[in-house]
Amino acid sequence: MSMEILEERRTSIQEKGRSCCSGDGLRCDTASVAGAVSQRACVYCGARVVLNPITDAFHIVHGPIGCASYTWDIRGSLTSGSELYRNSFSTDLQEKDIVFGGAEKLTRAIDEAVVHYKPRLIFVYATCIVGVIGDDVEAVCRRAEERHGIRVIAVKAPGFSGTKSTGYRMACNALIQLMQPHADQPRAKGVNILGDYNLAGEMWIIKNYLKEMGIPVVATMTGDASYAALTRAPAAQLNIVQCAGSMMYLARRMEDEMGVPWMRASFFGVEDTSTALRQVAERLGDTTAKAKAEAIIRKRAARATDFLERYKPHFVGKKAAIFVGGGFKAISLIRQFNEMGIETVVVGTQTGKPEDYEVIESLVNPGTVILDDANPAELETFMREKGADILVGGVKERPLAYKLGMAFCDHNHERKHALGGFEGVENFTREVNLSLNSPVWRFTRGRNSYAATAARQAAQVRQALAAGI
């Protein structure tokens, strides 16, 4: 690797087959290195993105207005019911509140929300400054529950109190708090789907497959979720966990405390979707569902594979870089790129666990750069060095790709086409092709000229400094 890596970051970056670190595994799932300008989101953001898709919940961000705007509607989760969740409410803490405390303001905000919107469920997020001044948010929420007879749940997630994964855990705790009073229900036929956020209708695609297999969906967490459905979730026969990074903790707690077993599944790509449908039917011991799953796979997988084959000539020799939130998505994307004939040359995540990175390493070719909690400089350098043609990431990665004159595919909050299920294979293939082979790249400066320009500019700055300008 040509880049000079910060000493503290060395163990978070590896090149398969030519390890540049201590050789005893990739450092991950730990706090970001101070000053390294991580691509990671904060604890509060982690909690908010998990809970926000609950369509009829009311979200109050207790903190300065910036925290509320940072996560307002960033997750384009779709709804089949209420639109309440698409609003963002904040106590807009000012200097005076920070000096004298913001608990009273929060109490007023909750009361106002109840009068004007009549929600059945309110989440109150405590942000960084609230963690510093120490408002007793839990006590305010408890008193509001007694006053109004609705659920008001505190999510204590100051941004500095851990990593984005800590925020996921806070969100899962809030969901457990919501479900606990309903834990003792008789078992109902059906499953819960955990860790899909219905960003472009993926939850509806998965639900349709299960419906065709004769398997009812009890609750979804949290894409297109509702308060009423969530209270029925403890009755389900099985939890299907897609995004393990955000929901594994919840699945384990639901198994321990409510007796709902879980299984992991991915609905991205032909191979993963087919495996997921078969395994769900198997776990339920439902032979009819198994036969129906095979029928779905026969019909839809063949169509998606045919579609993919037609596009393959456009992808010959292309290389991809992946930087996404969780390990499960990175793994699915590598498999999908393999199906498309595209080699993954750089891959990283914000919240991957050691076991995710083990699978990632087993799927990529020698020479691939694997990195956890990357910063923009590392991503840019490795993408250039490895000759990536396309970056798959989220809103924070998009400008990095465009700055380098590189194709980009949003696989995160802002995507507009469903990328899950067999339908998603066609959408993903189409989107990757459109971006990779767009004529626009002929008119940009391109990766090589970008590097040359950056080097020329750096030389000019050095000259200017030497001349004392």
Tell me the closest approach of the beta carbon of residue 159 to ligand SF4, in angstroms: 3
Residue 159 binds to ligand SF4 (criterion: CB under 6 A): yes
Which range touches ligand SF4 (CB under 6 A), out of 42-50, 248-256, 337-345, 407-415? 42-50
Which range touches ligand SF4 (CB under 6 A), out of 31-39, 63-71, 346-354, 356-364? 63-71
Nearer to ligand SF4, 67 or 121 (CB): 67
Tell me the closest approach of the beta carbon of residue 310 to ligand SF4, in angstroms: 44
Q: How many residues are listed for the chain in this entry?
A: 469
Residue 70 binds to ligand SF4 (criterion: CB under 6 A): yes
Nearer to ligand SF4, 167 or 195 (CB): 167
What string marks each residue from 354 to 383 as x (binds ligand SF4 by CB under 6 A) or -?
------------------------------
Tell me the closest approach of the beta carbon of residue 139 to ligand SF4, in angstroms: 20
Binders of ligand SF4 in range 418-447 (CB under 6 A): none
Nearer to ligand SF4, 158 or 269 (CB): 158
Q: Does the N-terminal peptide bond of residue 163 adopt cis geometry, omega within 30 degrees of 0?
A: no
Q: Put the strands of the sheet holding 390-393 in their side by side order.
A: 13-15, 369-372, 343-349, 319-324, 390-393, 407-410
Tell me the closest approach of the beta carbon of residue 133 to ligand SF4, in angstroms: 13
Residue 58 binds to ligand SF4 (criterion: CB under 6 A): no
Residue 44 binds to ligand SF4 (criterion: CB under 6 A): yes
Nearer to ligand SF4, 38 or 242 (CB): 38
What is the DSSP code string of 410-444? E-STT--S--SHHHHHHHHHHHHHHHHT-GGGGGS
Which range touches ligand SF4 (CB under 6 A), out of 37-45, 85-93, 256-264, 296-304? 37-45
Amino acid found at 161: S
Instruction: Supply 148's token pair.
Output: 């109004």
Please choose, from the candidates 68, 69, 86, the residue with its C-alpha nearest in 3D space to the C-alpha of residue 77. 86
User: What does the alpha-carbon distance between residue 152 and residue 120 come to, in Å, rounded to a whole number?
Assistant: 8
The b-or-e profile of 194-226 (16+ CB within 10 A means b, else e) is bbbbbbbbbbbbbbebbeebebebbbbbbbbbb
Nearer to ligand SF4, 45 or 199 (CB): 45
Residue of the chain from 54, 57, 59, 63 that contacts ligand SF4 (CB under 6 A) = 63
Cα–Cα distances in angstroms (integers) from residue 141 to residues 16, 170, 180, 226, 266, in the given order: 49, 16, 17, 20, 36
Is the Cα torsion angle 18, 19, 20, 22 positive or negative in sign?
negative
Which range touches ligand SF4 (CB under 6 A), out of 39-47, 221-229, 250-258, 400-408? 39-47
Residue of the chain from 49, 128, 265, 407 that contacts ligand SF4 (CB under 6 A) = 128
Region of 149 please: left (phi>0), alpha (psi -120 to 50) or beta. left
Residue 233 binds to ligand SF4 (criterion: CB under 6 A): no
HSE-CB at 158 with a 13 A cutoff on CA atoms is 11
What is the rounded end-to-end Cα distance, in angstroms, of the chain? 34
Kindly state the number of chain residues that form the binding site for ligand SF4, as judged by CB under 6 A. 10
Tell me the closest approach of the beta carbon of residue 165 to ligand SF4, in angstroms: 14
Tell me the closest approach of the beta carbon of residue 44 to ligand SF4, in angstroms: 4
Tell me the closest approach of the beta carbon of residue 64 to ligand SF4, in angstroms: 7
Tell me the closest approach of the beta carbon of residue 122 to ligand SF4, in angstroms: 18
SS3 59: strand
Please choose, from the candidates 145, 294, 284, the residue with its C-alpha nearest in 3D space to the C-alpha of residue 218. 284
Which range touches ligand SF4 (CB under 6 A), out of 62-70, 108-116, 189-197, 199-207? 62-70
Tell me the closest approach of the beta carbon of residue 324 to ligand SF4, in angstroms: 20
Tell me the closest approach of the beta carbon of residue 136 to ligand SF4, in angstroms: 18
What is the DSSP code string of 240-291? EES-HHHHHHHHHHHHHHH---EEE---SSHHHHHHHHHHHHHHHT-HHHHH
Residue written as token pair 């998606």: 304
Nearer to ligand SF4, 64 or 245 (CB): 64
Rounded (10°) CA dihedral 89, 91, 93, 96: 160
The b-or-e profile of 112-149 (16+ CB within 10 A means b, else e) is ebbeeeebebbbbbbbbbbbeeebebeebbeebeeebe
Residue 42 binds to ligand SF4 (criterion: CB under 6 A): yes
User: What does the alpha-carbon distance between residue 215 and residue 281 come to, in Å, rounded to a whole number?
Assistant: 9
Which range touches ligand SF4 (CB under 6 A), out of 38-46, 290-298, 343-351, 406-414? 38-46
Nearer to ligand SF4, 63 or 223 (CB): 63
Binders of ligand SF4 in range 88-127 (CB under 6 A): 127
Residue 53 binds to ligand SF4 (criterion: CB under 6 A): no
Task: Name the site residues for ligand SF4 (rule: CB under 6 A).
Answer: 42, 44-45, 63, 67, 70, 127-128, 158-159
